[in-house]
Structures are given as structure tokens and as C-alpha cells.
Chains A and B, each alone.
Chain A
Amino acid sequence: DTAVSQTPKYLVTQMGNDKSIKCEQNLGHDTMYWYKQDSKKFLKIMFSYNNKELIINETVPNRFSPKSPDKAHLNLHINSLELGDSAVYFCASSLTPYSNQPQHFGDGTRLSIL
């Protein structure tokens, strides 16, 4: 069984469109994250939610809006897509937001903007 699952795996769309990526974890974790991995493989955190509440927002443009309907789900909606949004987006989860808790990653969503 997949612990952290993201959909879709690939997303190709035109500049200016709005799109969403969904994430679900079945690990019973309280904390979920969104990361962006650029073309040089650099991984950077975007958001973190604990029990449906936002706890980290890394100065991401407000075109990006995460939503957590419950602690097992964290979705990412992106408005007015730009070329620079092309990247692989990873969802992750951990038991708690505190130190020493391993994070488990999904397999990513590759977003390509035409």
C-alpha cells in the first residue's frame, strides 16, 4: 500500500491556467508538507500543515494555495500558472511537526507549463 500518494503524476498545461494537485497519506500522521524540486534537483519546502492548520509558509507566491480538508489530505491549488512553476512537487508527511520525526515522501507530480 502506498503510504503517501499524489495525483496526478504528470501535469502538462498552458501558462495562465489554474490546476490542483492532490495528496493523501495513510500513515496516521498529523503533519503534511509540500516541497518543490527544481530542474537542478534542489528541494525546498513550500508549506507545512499540522492537523489541518498551516504552520509553515515559506514566502510562496499567493497564487499557491494549500488546503487541508482533514489531516490525511493536503491539496495544492495553483492559480495563473507561470513558466517558472515548472518543477516536480512532492508531498510528504511526518508523525508530528517536531524534530526527530522522519518525513515520508510521495513520488511527486511533474508539472510542465507550456
Chain B
Amino acid sequence: GENVEQHPSTLSVQEGDSAVIKCTYSDSASNYFPWYKQELGKGPQLIIDIRSNVGEKKDQRIAVTLNKTAKHFSLHITETQPEDSAVYFCAARLPNFGNEKLTFGTGTRLTIIP
């Protein structure tokens, strides 16, 4: 099965600075990599995703990069704001003929310091 490692587990960043969260996965056949943001008392919310045929994707202040050779992908948040404070999860999905499941990383608690 797939195994996803995520670092760091906690990250504090000054408001306006950039934040980077990194994940590695174990199975080179994984082909879909979403990132979720979880605010207190809420469910995970998809913020950006990337497919294995793309190396980078950007959506306003958020970008994700994927290095298939090294089997790692990263989330980049620029110009951080207090509302970016949350727990962020990476995930990887392994194709399996309709029995696919997401394997999540262990989460990163991001705190933006005003």
C-alpha cells in the first residue's frame, strides 16, 4: 500500500512570509495528490490538487509542486495571512480499478503570527 510522510508537523510563520510543507510518498504508481486545509471544528477542505502528469499548479497564493522522480510534492503558500492558520494535510491516491483510496499525511499545524 501507499505510505505518505509529511513535514514539518508544526510551522510558525510571520504574517506576509511564505510557508512550505513537504510530503513524500512511497508508491510511484500514485497519480493524484490533493492538499486539504482543516480549520478547528471543521472537516478537511480541498484547497488544491495536482495530477501526476503535471509538475506544478498555482491558484492565487497557493501552489503545489510535484517531483515524480523523487516521489515528493510540496505546498507553497505566499503572502500568508492570519486566516491561513489551520492544519494542512497532503494525500496520495493509488489507482486500483475503482477501489482507490486516499492515504493522508500526518498533518502540519500552520500558525501565522500577526
**Shortest beta-carbon distance from A51 to chain B in Å:** 11
Instruction: From A11-19, A66-74, A75-83, A103-111, give the one contacting chain B.
Output: A103-111
Minimum C-beta distance from A90 to chain B (A) = 5
Residue of A nearest to B44 (CB): A105
A13 to chain B, nearest CB (A): 20
Once the chains bind, are A107 and B41 in contact (CB under 8 Å)?
yes
How would residues 40 to 75 of chain B score, 1 for a CB under 8 Å from any chain A CB and 0 otherwise?
011111100101000000000000000000000000
User: What is the CA–CA distance of A107 and B41 in the complex, to the nearest angstrom?
Assistant: 7
Chain B residue nearest to A103 (CB atoms) is B102
Question: Do A44 and B32 have beta carbons less than 8 Å apart?
Answer: no
Q: Which residues of B contact A114 (CB under 8 A)?
A: none
Most chain B beta-carbon contacts within 10 A, residue among A100, A102, A104, A106 = A100
Give the chain B neighbours of A40 by CB distance below 8 A: 106
- A99 pairs with B43, CB closer than 8 A: no
Measured in the bound complex, the distance between the Cα atoms of B49 and A88 in whole Å is 24
What mask results when residues 39 to 83 of chain A are scored 1 for a CB within 8 Å of chain B, else 0? 011111100101000011010000000000000000000000000
B31 touching A100, Cβ below 8 Å: yes
Q: 0/1 per residue, A87-107, Cβ < 8 Å to B?
A: 000101000111110111111
Kindly state the interface size class of chain B when it binds its partner.
20 to 34
Q: Given contacts A55-B99, A99-B93, are A41 and B43 in contact (CB under 8 A)?
A: no
> With A41-B87, A100-B32 in contact, is A107–B101 under 8 Å at CB?
no
Q: Is the CB of B43 within 8 A of A4?
A: yes
B6 to chain A, nearest CB (A): 10
B76: min CB distance to chain A, Å: 20
A-B CB contact pairs (8 Å), 10 listed: A41-B106, A42-B107, A43-B44, A56-B99, A99-B31, A99-B95, A102-B46, A102-B49, A104-B46, A106-B43
